[in-house]
Structure 1
Amino acid sequence: MHYHISVSDPQSHFLQITYTVPEISSDSIEIQLPAWRPGRYEIQNFAKNIQFIEAISGTDQKLPIHKVTKDRWRVVTDGQKEIRIKYAYYAAIQNAGTSYVDEELWYLNFINFCMYTEGRISEPYTIRLDLPENYSIACGLPFVGENRLYARNFYQLVDSPLLASATLQRREYLVRGVEFKIWMHGNLKPNWWRIVRDFRRFSREQIATMGEFPEANYHFLNLILPNAFYHGVEHQNSTMIVLGPDDEGEGLYSDLLGVSSHELFHTWNVIRIRPKELLPYDFTKENYFRTCFVVEGCTTYYGDLFLRRAGVFNDEAYVKELQVYMKRHFENNGQSRQSLADSSFDLWLDGYEKGIPNRKVSVYHKGALVAMILDLYLRKKTNHAQSLDDVMKLLWVRFGRPFVGYTLEDYIGIVEEVAGETLEWYWHDCIFTSEPLESRLNEALAFVGLQMSTFSNGNIQLDVLDDFKAMQQREIWLATAQSKTDLEEEDEAV
């Protein structure tokens, strides 16, 4: 399979795409455009951005093509062994899951506009880009020539976003043999020394905790806008992040750290440790699953926790982030009637909209809080001998590394194996019902010297208690996974 992508008029925001299908042996083929993208579990109907489409034979004759669904076409091959599908796609939106082209930038999410031929989704692809001469490319796909990329199958292709521009900025760092690249596009002058130092620290902490990294290299693709924005999407060996405004203030930098650490942990949690219902992805329809509280909740919890363990955040900054989760849950969704598991399932219905009052909860915010409750309960019960770290590592070894997919029952089994007991209270109060979370949360927080207070006006505040024993427990909870000597020697060498 082959894709040729060009932009004849950057101001129009249209991609001109030619999809070549070789080795055809049937009277007709069907080609499918995805209806959704990994990382955002809602139907998005990318086909609405296709302006026109046509099928061309090897002798440049038009072939019959017509729709069979909203995003699927049937082509009568007329005995042709190879055909080309030509179409134009409107790429004019800048968020972490879209595509955009203009005079300065190509930002491509192949999931938006690339098709596959029914029955041939596992075949390899090459992609040729007609880029301006002075453009450089940031992408997790391997190069097979100038402006030519290779994907071993459709799944890898559409899980590898791309930035290309003459003004891309880049820095690199190495952790345990893994090459990391940080790419920036936007009107800013990054403090690269600080960025590389902090990114190395949280990357090192995550790999030390999980024991190994799933990929040989990794790309942080950052698009910095002049307007306020915050969005990130995980991918196989990269993440696409869109942030703003480009004022280079501490708020922008804190957002960059938080979303980058979150998305990096997704390299284990969902890219490889994936719910069985999503393996493999079916891009034509909803893929329902009830464990998004693991996918996004645990990742949200760990994103900031790793920043604290790595020394990028201090205690004050970390407590501030915890308070954000609490305020967003209790002030917005504390009275919601839907369970966390049901809200996971209903992401496909309205998970990314505000929705009606007191219905759903956030798999991110409540998911992070119940992950913390579980982590602190395991630590208290075992004097820190067991924790949520052990749950995630078992998920990795049994389901992520072999890439076989886990079920809700598998997750429950691993949690209770680590706990050494059944946890009916946890599943009932935190996951499968809409029981109020305040008492369970404060019981867990007390172990590490924290307390959440709810005021009469509904506001939430998280306080640090002056308790020496609890402070000791908090230090253990937030301790790095590596020895300080190793960290100091590595930092000094760098």
Structure 2
Amino acid sequence: MHYRISSTNPSSRLLEVDFLLTAISSSTVDLQLPAWRPGRYEIQNFAKNIQRFEIFDQTGKPLAFQKITKDRWRVQTEGVSELVARYTYYSNTINAGTSYADDRLLYINPVNLCLFTDDRLQEECTLELTIPDDWQVACGMKQTASNILTASDFYELVDCPLIASPDLQHLPYEIDNTVFHVWINGNIKPDWERIRHDFSRFSETQIRLFGEFPEKDYHFLTLILPTAHYHGVEHRNSTMLVLGPNDEGEGLYTDLLGVSSHELFHTWNIIRIRPTELLPYDFTRETYFTTCFVAEGVTTYYGDLLLRRANVFTDAAYWKELQVLLKRHFEPSGRSFQSLTESSWDLWLDGYDKGVPNRKVSVYYKGATVALILDLHIRRKWNHARSLDDVMRIMWERFGKPFVGYTLEDYRAITEEVAGEPLGWYYERCIFGNEPLEPLLNEYLAFVGLQLEYDATDLVSAPSVLLVQHDDKAGLQNRHQWLGVQP
């Protein structure tokens, strides 16, 4: 399967795509466009962005076809060995999961606009870009020529976004045998020495937690915009980041660190340590699963925590981010009716919308809150000799490294194995239940000299959350152990 993408009139925001399919031996071929993308579990209907759609044989003769679903076309191919689907894709939105073109940028998420056939997902794919000779290309795919990228199969293709531009800024750094690349496109002058120092530290800290890195290289693909943005999406050996505004200074850099650490942790947790329901991805329909609190909640918990362990964040910077995380759960949804497993299942319904008040919880923020409770419970019982780190290492060894899917029961069994006891109370209260978590959380925060407080007495009115430090000697010692820093 071969794809050619160009943008001959960038101001129109139209991308021109040619999809070449060879070695056809059947009388009909179904061409499918993905309906959603990994990392965002909602139907996005990319087909709505297709403006013009035509199909030809190898001689240029039009082929008969019929649209049989909203994003699937059946082509009459009897006697034809090759076909070309030629279409235009409207790309007028920039976030970390879209595609976009202007006169100095070609930004592509292949999952938006690359067709596939069901029985050839395992075949090699090539992606050819029609771009000027002086443009650079940043992507996790292998570059076989200046403008041609190669993927081992369709799954790799759609897990490798790209930025092509004459304005790309680039910094490589190396940890063990992995080369990391920071790519930045935008109207800023990065402090490359600071980026090298901080990114090296948190990358190494994450690698030490798991013991190894799953890829030979990794790319932080970053678009900095003049307007407010904060979005990142994980991929096989890269992450796509869109941040702004470009004049925000220190706040922009803090956002860059936070989202980069979060997305890098995903290289293990969801890219490889993946729920069984998502192996392999089915791009045609919803794929329901109950464990997004592991995929996103645990990752959200570790994203900022590992920046503190790496001494990239100070205590004050980490407390600020932790307080924001807790506010985002307890203030809008601390009294919501759904459990974490119910809200994970309903991601496909309204997980990314504001939705009905007090209905759902965030798999990110409540998921991170209950990950904190579990980590501190294990640490308190074992005097820090065991922790959630051990859970994630075992998940990597048993499920991520061999790349086999895990179930909710698998995750529960490993947490109980590490805790050395049944955790029925934890799962009933934190995962399957919907009770308010302030008393339970404060029981464990006290272990590390912290407390969650409110600045009002009426909890029903969702007052503001405050994270308060109580520096008793035992709490301070446990806090240092938890954060992995020297007193």
Provide the TM-score with structure 1 as the length reference: 0.96
* Distance across 1 between alignment mates of 2:362 and 2:384: 28
1:377 alignment counterpart: 377
User: SS of the counterpart of 1:62?
Assistant: coil
Aligned to 2:247: 247
Q: Report the equivalent of 1:212.
A: 212
* Structure 1 runs, 4 residues or longer, greater than 4 Å off: none
Question: Structure 2 counterpart of 1:312, which letter?
Answer: V
Which letter maps to 1:465?
A: H
Cα distance in structure 2, aligned partners of 1:286 and 1:245: 34
Work out the CA distance in 2 between the residues paired with 1:180 and 1:419.
35
- The aligned residue for residue 476 of structure 2 is 471
Matches within 5 A, 1:98-247: 98-247=98-247
Aligned ranges for residues 267-286 of structure 1 at < 5 Å? 267-286=267-286
How far does residue 133 in structure 1 lie from its aligned partner after superposition? 1.7
Q: Write the distance in 2 (CA, Å) between the matches of 1:463 and 1:423.
A: 28
Whichever residue aligns with residue 476 of structure 1, its letter is Q
Instruction: Give the counterpart letter for 1:372 in structure 2.
Output: L
Query: Which residue of 2 is the match for residue 492 of structure 1?
Result: none
Shift of 1:342: 0.5
> Is contact 1:139-1:162 (8 Å) kept?
yes
Q: Which amino acid in the other structure matches residue 240 of structure 1? A: M
Deviation at 1:248, TM superposition (A): 4.8
Paired positions, count: 482
After TM superposition, give the deviation of residue 145 of structure 1 in Å. 1.4
Can you list the C-alpha shifts for 1:77-111, whole angstroms capped at 9, x where unaligned? 13111111111111111000000001010000000
Aligned: 1:411 with 2:411: yes
The one-character-per-residue Cα deviations of 1:323-353 (angstroms, maximum 9, x if unpaired) are: 1111111110011000011101100000000
SS at match of 1:127: strand
Aligned to 1:489: none
Q: Distance in 2 between matches of 1:289 and 1:118?
A: 22
SS of structure 2 residue aligned to 1:203: helix
What amino acid does structure 2 have at the position aligned with 1:463? Answer: V
Structure 2 Cα separation of the partners of residues 81 and 42 of structure 1: 36
Instruction: Give 2:339's aligned residue.
Output: 339
Superimposed CA distance per residue, residues 55-74 of structure 1 (whole angstroms, 9 cap, x where no aligned partner): 11111100001101000000
Which residue is equivalent to 1:490? Answer: none
Paired with 2:190 and 2:98, the residues of 1 have a C-alpha distance of 24
Q: Return the letter of the residue paired with 1:462.
A: L
Partner Cα separation in structure 2 for residue 46 and residue 53 of structure 1: 14
Q: Per the alignment, in what secondary structure is the counterpart of residue 332 of structure 1?
A: helix
Amino acid at match of 2:183: W
- What SS class does the counterpart of residue 361 from structure 2 fall into? coil
CA–CA separation in structure 2 for the residues paired with 1:176 and 1:405: 28
Cα distance, 1:118 vs structure 2: 2.3
Query: 1:61: which partner in 2?
Result: 61
Task: Quote the Cα distance in structure 1 between the aligned partners of 2:73 and 2:471.
Answer: 66
Instruction: Provide the rounded CA distance (Å) in 2 between the counterparts of 1:338 and 1:216.
Output: 41
Match of 2:82 in 1: 82
Aligned to 1:41: 41
Q: Provide the secondary structure at the position in 1 that maps to 2:194.
A: helix
How far does residue 442 in structure 1 lie from its aligned partner after superposition? 0.4
1:339-375 CA distance string (max 9 Å, x none): 0111011000000000011100000111000000000
* Structure 2 letter corresponding to 1:54: E
Residue 132 of structure 1 aligns with an amino acid whose one-letter code is P
Deviations 1:200-231 (A, max 9, x none): 00000000111000100000000000001100
Amino acid at match of 2:477: Q
What is the one-letter code of the residue matched to 2:357? P
Q: Does the 8 Å CA contact 1:188/1:248 hold for their aligned counterparts?
A: no
Per-residue deviation, residues 387-412 of structure 1 (Å, max 9, x unmatched): 00000000000000000010000000
Say whether the 8 Å CA contact 2:26–2:78 is kept in structure 1: no
Aligned to 1:122, the other structure's residue is in SS state: coil
SS at match of 1:331: helix
AA aligned to 1:469 is A
Deviations 1:255-314 (A, max 9, x none): 000000000000000000000000000000001000000000000000000000000001
Q: Within the alignment, does 1:13 sit opposite 2:13 as a pair?
A: yes
Is the aligned partner of 1:390 residue 2:390?
A: yes
Within 2, Cα distance between the matches of 1:201 and 1:348? Answer: 36
Match of 1:348 in 2: 348
Structure 1: 5+ residue stretches without partners: 485-494
Identity %: 60
> What TM-score do you get using the length of structure 2 for normalisation?
0.98
* Structure 2: gaps of 5 or more residues: none
**CA distance, structure 2, for counterparts of residue 423 and residue 359 of structure 1:** 26
- In structure 2, the partner of 1:297 is 297
Q: Answer yes or no: is the 8 Å Cα contact 1:128–1:147 preserved in 2.
A: yes
Give the distance between the partners of 1:314 and 1:449, measured in 2 at CA. Answer: 17
Deviation at 1:132, TM superposition (A): 1.2
1:306 aligns with 2:306: yes
Give me the CA root mean square deviation.
1.1
- State the distance in 2 between where 1:291 and 1:440 align: 22
Q: Which position in structure 1 is the counterpart of 2:454?
A: 454
- Quick one: distance in 2 between partners of 1:175 and 1:128? 31
Question: What letter matches 2:483 in structure 1?
Answer: L
Match of 2:315 in 1: 315
Give 1:144 deviation, angstroms.
1.2
Shift of 1:466: 2.1
1:241 alignment partner, SS class: strand
Contact 2:5 2:127 in 1 (8 A): yes
